[in-house]
């Protein structure tokens, strides 16, 4: 703080003279504007919890039972919650990269040019990072079983002794390229979805996060554990489907012993996405788990009719009859849905 003050006073030298005539009463702010909303209260709660946790860990004597309990909490749930925030931020980046890549490929009018560009991008990337080939089931299996992730089983870098920094950079590159490669495969004439890509990206996110924490902080986080938790956290944040992510995560291990960690990571990831982009939703399916629970009164047929109206699509005769019969219910469901491009 002292260094920051010295920098602002002697280096940056910010001119604060215009603030002398500043009158807050002239802003016309209401009393409601001075109160915190729900999102601000949640963020403030997280900040206060972190500050109190750190201060308490500094005050407690060494060797005490309370400090041992604090260390046990700090080595598990705190890191899982931070990992959930990381997965939420990465989910937003994953969706943004997918949207930008999709707009780029749609801007290419000639389908032959589009297919050549997509094929070239896929070929070069798979040549450098062979782990991206296929659905990635082998990578998931080795990571969950504690065998790590073999980034270069074959290819130009196979058999080379790479440093930890290079491995981290390669993991970051794979995380950044996964979303655009899914779009390239789809617009290049292939078949691509969001189920396996989000599981693969979540596994790599857990491996990258655990390696970074172990290298820079020396906390000794198990990479296989965070790979397992990350698959559900990234799926919940990118697809806006926390309930589906919980069920699939439990189904993968065929056990409920990891369910508390799943719940924490998935919930934090989903809440992070909703706090930063409250009106975002899964564009491909128009789905959001929590929004669906809030709108249980709307039947699936009404949802389809409302989505057709919002997207400007020409409905079938069945949808038109539903709109005429339901009327007000369809209108209410349509108003409650977020915009297609709303963030």
pLDDT, tens only, 111-124: 899 999 999 999 99
The Cβ of residue 232 has, within 10 Å, a number of other Cβ atoms equal to 30
Q: pTM for this one?
A: 0.67
- Give the burial class of 177: count Cβ atoms within 10 A of its Cβ; 0-12 exposed, 13-18 middle, 19 or more buried: middle
Position 74 confidence tier, pLDDT thresholds 50, 70, 90:
low
**Interval 183-216: pLDDT, tens:** 998 888 777 778 889 999 999 999 999 999 888 8
Q: Given this model, what pLDDT does residue 198 score?
A: 92
Position 281 confidence tier, pLDDT thresholds 50, 70, 90:
low
**Interval 209-247: pLDDT, tens:** 999 988 887 778 888 889 999 999 999 999 888 888 888
Cα–Cα distance between 229 and 221 in angstroms, integer? 13
Q: Given this model, what pLDDT does residue 218 score?
A: 77
Q: Are 232 and 253 in contact (CB under 8 A)?
A: no
Q: Are 78 and 152 in contact (CB under 8 A)?
A: no
Position 310 confidence tier, pLDDT thresholds 50, 70, 90:
low
Q: What is the 3-state secondary structure (H, E, C) of the chain?
A: CHHHHHHHHHHHCCCCHHHHHCCHHHHCCCCHHHCCCHHHHHHHHHHHHHHHHHHHHHHCCCCCHHHHHHHHHHCCHHHHHHHHHHHHHHHHHHHHHHHHHHHHHHHCCCHHHHHHHHHHHHHHHHHHCHHHCCCCHHHHHHHHCCCCCCCCCCCCCCCCCCCHHHHHHHHHHHHHHHHHHHHHHHHCCCCCCCHHHHHHHHHHHHHHHHHHHHHHCCCCCCHHHHHHHHHHHHHHHHHCCHHHHHHHHHHHHCCCCCHHHHHHHHHHHHHHHHHHCCCCCECCCCECHHHHHHCCCCCHHHHHHHHHHHHCCCCCHHHHHHHHHHCHHHHHHHHHCCCCCCC
For 265, the token pair is 């990571």
Q: Given this model, what pLDDT does residue 6 score?
A: 72
Q: Are 129 and 173 in contact (CB under 8 A)?
A: yes
Over residues 267-285, the mean pLDDT reads 76
Highest mean pLDDT among 74-88, 143-157, 173-187: 173-187
Over residues 7-12, the mean pLDDT reads 67
Provide the β-strand partners of residue 287: 282
Provide the β-strand partners of residue 282: 287
Question: Is pLDDT at 139 greater than 90 in this prediction?
Answer: no
Q: Given this model, what pLDDT does residue 235 score?
A: 92
Question: Is pLDDT at 143 greater than 70 in this prediction?
Answer: yes
Lowest mean per-residue pLDDT among 14-28, 98-112, 235-249, 321-335? 321-335
Over residues 146-164, the mean pLDDT reads 73
pLDDT greater at residue 316 or residue 58:
58
Q: Given this model, what pLDDT does residue 29 score?
A: 66
pLDDT over 70 percentage in the chain: 63
Of 306, 233, 252, residue with least CA distance to 79: 233
Over residues 277-302, the mean pLDDT reads 60
């Amino acid at each position: 703080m002292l260094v920051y003050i010295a920098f602002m006073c002697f280096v940056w030298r910010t001119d604060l003279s215009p603030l002398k005539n500043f009158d807050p009463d002239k802003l016309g702010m209401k009393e409601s504007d001075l109160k915190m909303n729900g999102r601000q209260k949640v963020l403030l709660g997280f900040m206060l919890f972190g500050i109190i946790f750190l201060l308490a860990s500094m005050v407690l004597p060494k060797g005490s039972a309370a400090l041992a309990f604090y260390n046990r909490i700090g080595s598990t749930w705190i890191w899982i919650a931070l990992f959930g925030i990381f997965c939420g931020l990465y989910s937003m980046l994953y969706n943004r990269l997918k949207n930008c890549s999709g707009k780029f490929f749609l801007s290419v009018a000639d389908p032959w040019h589009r297919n050549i560009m997509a094929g070239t991008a896929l070929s070069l990337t798979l040549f450098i990072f062979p782990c991206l080939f296929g659905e990635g089931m082998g990578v998931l299996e080795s990571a969950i079983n504690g065998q790590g992730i073999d980034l270069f089983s074959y290819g130009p870098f196979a058999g080379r002794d790479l440093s930890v920094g290079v491995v981290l950079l390669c993991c970051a590159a794979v995380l950044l390229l996964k979303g655009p490669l899914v779009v390239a495969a789809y617009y290049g004439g292939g078949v691509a979805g969001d189920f396996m890509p989000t599981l693969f990206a979540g596994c790599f996110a857990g491996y990258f996060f655990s390696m970074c924490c172990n290298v820079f902080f020396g906390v000794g986080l198990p990479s296989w554990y965070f790979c397992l938790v990350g698959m559900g956290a990234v799926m919940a944040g990118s697809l806006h489907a926390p309930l589906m992510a919980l069920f699939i995560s439990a189904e993968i291990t065929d056990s409920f012993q990891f369910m508390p960690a799943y719940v924490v990571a998935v919930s934090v990831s989903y809440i992070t996405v909703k706090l930063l982009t409250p009106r975002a939703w899964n564009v491909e399916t128009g789905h959001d788990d929590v929004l669906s629970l809030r709108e249980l009164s709307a039947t699936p047929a009404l949802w389809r009719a409302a989505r057709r109206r919002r997207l400007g699509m020409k409905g079938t005769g069945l949808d038109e009859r539903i709109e005429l019969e339901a009327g007000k219910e369809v209108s209410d469901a349509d108003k409650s849905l977020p915009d297609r491009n709303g963030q």
